[in-house]
Amino acid sequence: MQLLFLMTFEKKGLDGTAYPAQLSVSEEKGKLTVTWTEQEHQKRALQEQWYEGSDMEEMEYSMKCGTAAKLLAGYQAWVSSFMPKELLSTTPSDPSMDLIDYYCENEHDSSYYSKLVEWRRAKAKEKGMSPFFIASNRLLKRLCTFFPRTQEQFLLIPGFGLGKWNQYGQELAEILAESDTEETRFPLDWIVGSIDLDAYRSWQLNQRIQQWQQERERLTGHKKLLLGIQQLLPLEQIASLLSCTESEAVKQVEKLSKEGYDITPWAEKQLEQLDNKEKEKIVKAFKRHGTRFLKPVLTQVYTEEEQSSRGLDALYTIIRLLRMVYLSEGEEAAV
């Protein structure tokens, strides 16, 4: 076994005693292992294995998540220059945004946040667009923390510009005016001085841990999906590997197809039991309506009775699978 990396940490006990710990990365026969070892007073060494595998990206995210958790537990690196910069920053990069979001995370009115989320959902449906193009979660939390009343106050909320005011300002002002919350002091520059930076630091690390965990899970799922496609596993089995529904799994396969991966053999395998006449009907619908939107294809190919008896998710999955084949190889292969 070859030691690739070793870093020493230390935590002070209540009595001032220093408790050392080490983070190490070792390699043996192409397999990487990340290990955390800590020694408490008069106790045996406690060892945690954070990662074992061969993927460098997964290893990096595992190291970041584990190290951040140990920093939150009170450990500090002996030599901080070797630490990732994301773990070193003790002050916000943009006080006007970062500290405001931290403040809003703790102080927003949850009932009004639910109201704004519902308003966003309805507005997105009305406009036929993603809810997050209307407003992000963070922007909604800012609104239901500071409750702006006037155009001038709305424009002092980070992320709420004149364009948003012209589109949604009056509606949002009416919703927020229903609150009996005391009027906020604008501008919001007073927030920076009111924040406990140690508490902010902990919040910041927790946010990054969540982000890194999600990235690590995405990488793991990506590898499982590629392996399942390579092995021509049934869609049901791939969905089980990814811990999601079959319709969600086939959407992930579609993303791979758009990224240039060859998923045609796998998609054709899933469609082996599909009647040729049904395939022909779907291809004809693609020719007539195009492949961008699936509902026109669904309504042309399947009756309302078929949609009800076979289930919309199952039918959309069939259409998505055939669309992948159709787009990659054209009509001849699809039929």
Residue 81 pLDDT exceeds 80: no
Q: What is the pLDDT of residues 310-332, one digit of tens each?
A: 999 999 999 999 999 999 875 44
Greater model confidence, 84 or 93: 84
Q: Which stretches of 35-136 are DSSP H helices?
A: 56-72, 85-88, 95-107, 110-127, 131-134
pTM more than 0.85: no
* Predicted pLDDT at 335: 41
In this prediction, residue 204 has a pLDDT band, given cuts at 50, 70 and 90, of confident
pLDDT tens track for 223-260: 999 999 999 999 999 999 999 999 999 999 999 999 99
163/174 Cα distance (integer angstroms): 18
> Would you kindly state where each structural domain of the chain is located, as residue ranges?
2-88, 95-191, 261-334
What gap in Å lies between CA 332 and CA 335, rounded to an integer? 6
**Angle (nearest 5°) at CA 103 between 174 and 89:** 140
Longest Cα–Cα distance in the chain: 79
Predicted pLDDT of residue 197: 83
> In this predicted structure, what is the pLDDT of residue 113?
96
pLDDT interval class at 158 (50, 70, 90): very high
Q: Cα 302 vs. chain centroid, distance in angstroms?
A: 35
Quick one: average pLDDT of 125-129?
86
CATH for the 95-191 domain, from 2.100.10.30, 3.40.50.300, 1.10.1740.10, 1.10.150.80: 1.10.150.80
pLDDT (tens digit, 9 = 90+) per residue, 21-76? Answer: 999 999 999 999 999 999 765 667 789 999 999 989 899 999 999 999 999 999 99
Q: What is the pLDDT of residues 282-315, one digit of tens each?
A: 999 999 999 999 999 999 999 999 999 999 999 9
Query: Looking at residue 89, what is its pLDDT?
Result: 57
